[in-house]
Amino acid sequence: MDDSRHILLETGAFIHSAVNEDLKGRLSELHTRFPPEPGGFLHIGSAKAVYINFELAKIYGGKCNLRMDDTNPAKEEAEFVQAIQDEIKWLGYDWEDRLYFASDYFDKFYGYAARLIEKGLAFVCDLSADELRASFGGIDKAGVESPFRGRSVEENLDLFARMKNGEFGDGAKTLRAKIDMASSNLNMRDPVIYRIAHKTHSNTGDKWCIYPMYDFAHPLGDAIEGVTHSLCGLEFRDHRPIYEWYINNLDFEQKPRQIEFAEISVENTILGKRHLRKLIAEGNADGWDDPRLVTIMGMRRRGYPPSAIRDFLGNAGVSTAKNNTVEFAMLEHFVREHLAPVSKVVMAVLNPLKVVIENFPEGEVEMLNIDGREVPFCREIFVEREDFMEEPVKKFFRLAPGNEVRLKGAYFVTCTGVEKDADGNVTEIRCTYDPATKSGTGVEPPRKVKGTIHWVSAKHGVPIKAMLYDTLVLDTPEGEKELNPNSLIEMPNALGEPCIADATVDDRFQFMRNGYFCLDSKDANGTEGLVFNRIVSLKSSYRPQ
């Protein structure tokens, strides 16, 4: 089922040829890495980076490290370190014993920075954050060189050591690379290498009060770990020159190469950390694991198989540099495809309408064998409210006055009447059944019937709550995101056939004609009764009227 290996080989040709060329065929030497910042949870966008880095290494028999990019103590928390590992494992990948932390290299980073100073390629700058920003210039304006750019190697070395020793306050000084303030690439305008931040780091504690910037730490981290190919999102395209500048100026034997791929975006979803945080803070999402979110936690709770996510990612393609927004329907397609073979098909009625079978003996319970299950059938059952129409539209093959349908695995029934309340709402329908049409007897029914509907015994039905999801937000034509008012529909009075009382969180069901469902893992001990999440609906070619 999981042919992602094949898919990734077909797509992302630019990566394959680059890797092939660099390694001159020794592809098992391919070494990649997935470098998350432990400052948040992973989502489908991060999953693509996980997928590409790990999958590519797997295809060629190479290795992929997991490196926590924890160079900014202000934004990172230890809890994410474990969460991210769980998420990657769930996605199906293994970094073996190669879990690393950028912070493990702080000593080395410091040494390399000093090296840059000695080579006259870095200097300590006293400009304030505001002054620095102003001196950077702009998109069509060259920057201005720092007045501290000419300091001697000795002075720089001394100042840098004193920065490290905590002699200066936050923001008082920075270490900067000496490159080119007139570069058309803003990342090359004497970028900051180290900043001062008297903050406790989750890994190194108070040992450091200066921390390296991403642009400096990332290539060095790659080089130190022996990474051959640093595959990252397109957003880092403009950083490639600075990545190479550090690598080339620090004389690494084996130079890692950065290759970018287009990030994925899925229609009607939100990926941005701050946007997600806002949704959660405002109560519009039920935490990071809200099943309507395409966070890893959300998709996991929703019931998406990880293999479906991998397959989706592979099929959505690994393009070079094109903006793309994949339709949500494509994700759902792969979810269905991977769910179908592992799901047990059972009956559940989401919106129950009582049916009394008038000629079925009162009090009698008949056990029916449906696909190997024993399912009780009796005089009073529930069917889906949507499966009955008092005044049927044309091509409505379900229950309607005078109309005969098959009850799945049971008998043919004909609607003979309707009961209503004072407001005219249908409260129950009356039917008669034909004993000669019993299912599974091997005897051909005496006549054909167009519709087969699902049902649950009134006496034996297990009360459940069904959660029907749609995406939390909708894309507007203007390119904005708006809340989807119908992103959650709760069906509190749903009923399932008896066997679902034994469901575990790992079980996947297809509720016949209603979609794929699983137990909500958030409420695994059932304090709210049995809560089932609809993972994805079934496709339907039925169009009323």
Partner RNA sequence: UGGGCUGUCGCCAAGCGGUAAGGCACAGGACUUUGACUCCUGCACUCGAAGGUUCAAAUCCUUCCAGCUCAGCCA
The structure tokens listed for 275 are: 């946007």
Residues 48-107 that bind RNA (CB under 7 A): 69, 71-72, 74-75
Nearest Cα neighbor of 467 from 445, 495, 488 is 488
Q: For 204-308, list the strands marked E by DSSP.
A: 210-212, 229-233, 257-261, 265-266
Q: Per-residue x/- marks for RNA, 31-50, CB under 7 A?
A: ----x-x-------------
> Of these, 81, 186, 280, 488, which contacts RNA (CB under 7 A)?
186
Q: What is the DSSP string of 490-541?
A: EEEEEEE-GGGGG--TT--EEETTTEEEEE-GGGTT-BTBEEEEEEEPPP--
> Of these, 83, 159, 196, 353, which contacts RNA (CB under 7 A)?
196
* Minimum CB distance to RNA, residue 449 (Å): 8
Residues 461-480 that bind RNA (CB under 7 A): none
Beta carbon nearer to RNA, 81 or 330: 330
Q: Which stretch binds RNA (CB under 7 A): 53-61, 152-160, 178-186, 527-535?
A: 178-186
* Minimum CB distance to RNA, residue 300 (Å): 22
Reduced to 3 states (helix: H, G, I; strand: E, B; else coil), residue 340 is: helix
For the beta carbon of residue 393, count every other beta carbon within 10 angstroms. Answer: 9
Under the criterion CB under 7 A, does residue 20 sit at the interface with RNA?
Answer: no
> Of these, 286, 397, 401, 475, which contacts RNA (CB under 7 A)?
397
Under the criterion CB under 7 A, does residue 356 sit at the interface with RNA?
Answer: no
Tell me which residue has tokens 């509907």. Answer: 453
* Minimum CB distance to RNA, residue 245 (Å): 14
Q: Which stretch binds RNA (CB under 7 A): 146-154, 186-194, 425-433, 467-475?
A: 186-194
* Minimum CB distance to RNA, residue 522 (Å): 26
Q: Which stretch binds RNA (CB under 7 A): 154-162, 302-310, 405-413, 519-527?
A: 405-413
Long-range contacts of 203-210 (CB under 8 A, 24+ apart): 203/70, 203/78, 203/101, 203/103, 203/104, 204/103, 204/106, 207/106, 208/106, 208/164, 209/163, 209/164, 209/166, 210/110, 210/163, 210/164, 210/175
* Minimum CB distance to RNA, residue 370 (Å): 7
* Minimum CB distance to RNA, residue 316 (Å): 4
Beta carbon nearer to RNA, 402 or 440: 440
| Sequence-separated (6 or more) residues with CB below 8 Å from residue 373 | 346, 497, 499
* Minimum CB distance to RNA, residue 318 (Å): 6
Nearest Cα neighbor of 460 from 333, 323, 394, 364 is 364
Beta carbon nearer to RNA, 38 or 306: 38
> Of these, 57, 132, 466, 518, which contacts RNA (CB under 7 A)?
132
Nearest Cα neighbor of 151 from 113, 172, 120 is 120
Under the criterion CB under 7 A, does residue 451 sit at the interface with RNA?
Answer: yes
Look up residue 193 and give its amino acid: I
* CA torsion through residues 213, 218, 219, 220, sign: positive
> Of these, 199, 255, 333, 460, which contacts RNA (CB under 7 A)?
333
Residue 380 backbone dihedrals phi, psi, to 5 degrees: -115, 125
Q: Which stretch binds RNA (CB under 7 A): 21-29, 237-245, 353-361, 497-505?
A: 237-245
Q: Which stretch binds RNA (CB under 7 A): 58-66, 150-158, 159-167, 209-217?
A: 209-217
Beta carbon nearer to RNA, 125 or 290: 125
Under the criterion CB under 7 A, does residue 180 sit at the interface with RNA?
Answer: no
| Sequence-separated (6 or more) residues with CB below 8 Å from residue 370 | 347, 408, 409, 439, 440
> Of these, 157, 330, 426, 458, which contacts RNA (CB under 7 A)?
330
400 vs 423: CA distance, rounded Å:
20
Q: Per-residue x/- marks for RNA, 306-325, CB under 7 A?
A: ---------xxxxxxxxxxx
Residues 239-278 that bind RNA (CB under 7 A): 239, 262, 267
Q: Within 13 Å of residue 72, how many CA atoms lie on the same side as its CB?
A: 12
* Minimum CB distance to RNA, residue 527 (Å): 30
Residues 516-545 that bind RNA (CB under 7 A): 538-543
Under the criterion CB under 7 A, does residue 326 sit at the interface with RNA?
Answer: yes
> Of these, 185, 369, 427, 486, which contacts RNA (CB under 7 A)?
185
190 vs 176: CA distance, rounded Å:
6
Strand order of the sheet with strand 452-453? 452-453, 404-407, 412-420, 426-434, 352-357, 380-384, 455-457
